[in-house]
Amino acid sequence: MSQSGNNPTQTVIAIIPARYSSTRLEGKLLLPINGKPLILHTLEQTKKARNINRIIVATDDERILEVILETGNEAVLTSINHQSGSDRIAEVAETLPENSIIVNVQGDEPMIPPHTIESAVDVLLNDENVLMSTTCETINEAKDVLSPDVVKVVTDENNFALYFSRSPIPFPRDEVKTHGTLENALRVNARLISSFKKHTGLYVYRREFLLNYTQMGQSNLEKLEMLEQLRALENGIKIKVVEVEESSIGVDTIEDFERVRKLIEVK
């Protein structure tokens, strides 16, 4: 373990990218849950992570900015032209101290477990050679294996990402040959499902790497799969993947929102 991993002066800053527009659920970050906008629940969960020193909401919308500032939290207004959340947080990261560790927490995950954030951050705190980390969780339902909206990840023996895909990876060749289709194989042998890992959208970067990363051109595989993290792999960057036990729910649709709202209100 490198000595820098124990350096208490290493600043960890969470940046929550918060766009108002959304393809499937417009203005979702301001939808109320228990009397508070969804984005504030995400911010409060992030605050519970023990290794986060500072939290900034990066938004393109005055309404979101106002909500954050009114509650005494930190927010900045960013360009409306960013193509990705990484670009948005990079704009903010440029103004932050050198050698900071930057955490990209998705604004639409109001139930993100603090321990998930802590686990991904600890990887960079404990190993100065890791430039980027992310998280994954075990898949429990066949429909998630088959869904292109659920990104799958495979890793090497040291838990570095080999590939991310919207397709089911790894492909269980013999089981599919036996049962005719992957769908049939998953139905007959439910144990197969747990061999797939769902990639979740939390990222941790070293500040200087993030600034370089967002200047790289879009890569071929990134364009094909529409997965930004493939840009790092295609440029030879290793991504450490931390498997977490607690799952989070991203709010993309009104059904997601209602599910999350009920779970939070029951607490």
Q: What is the C-alpha separation between 239 and 132, in angstroms, rounded?
A: 5
pLDDT (tens digit per residue) in 150-204: 999 999 999 999 999 999 999 999 999 999 999 999 999 999 999 999 999 899 9
Cα–Cα distance list, 114 to 172, 237, 239 (Å): 34, 26, 21
Burial class (CB in 10 A: 0-12, 13-18, 19+), 104: buried
Average pLDDT over residues 241-261: 91
Instruction: Enter the pTM of the model.
Output: 0.91
Q: Which pLDDT does position 9 carry in this prediction?
A: 62
Pairwise CA distance, residues 241 & 116, whole Å: 12
**Residue 43 in this model has a pLDDT that exceeds 50:** yes
Does position 251 have pLDDT exceeding 60, yes or no?
Answer: yes
Q: pLDDT for 221-239, tens place per residue?
A: 999 999 999 999 999 999 9
User: What is the distance between the alpha carbons of residues 77 and 94, in angstroms, rounded to a whole number?
Assistant: 14
Residues near 41 by beta carbon (within 8 Å), at least 6 away in sequence: 33, 34, 110, 111, 264
Which are the contacts of 45, defined by CB distance < 8 A and separation ≥ 6?
Answer: 109, 110, 111, 112, 113, 114
Mean pLDDT of 79-85: 83
Span 136-163, average pLDDT: 96
Q: Assess if residue 263 is contained within a domain.
A: no
Residues of the domain holding 233: 7-137+198-245
In a domain, 64, yes or no: yes
Residue 256 inside a domain? The answer is no
Task: Return d(Cα 215, Cα 156) in angstroms, integer.
Answer: 27
Residue predicted with more confidence, 241 or 19: 241
Residue 28 clears pLDDT 60, i.e. is over it: yes
Asked if residue 219 is part of any domain, the answer here is yes
Does 38 have pLDDT greater than 60?
Answer: yes
CATH number of domain containing 223: 3.90.550.10
Per the domain annotation, does 239 fall within a domain?
Answer: yes
d(CA 128, CA 176): 42
The count of structural domains within the chain is: 1
As a three-state string, the secondary structure of 83-113 is CCHHHHHHHHHCCCCCCCEEEECCCCCCCCC
Residue 251 lies in a domain: no
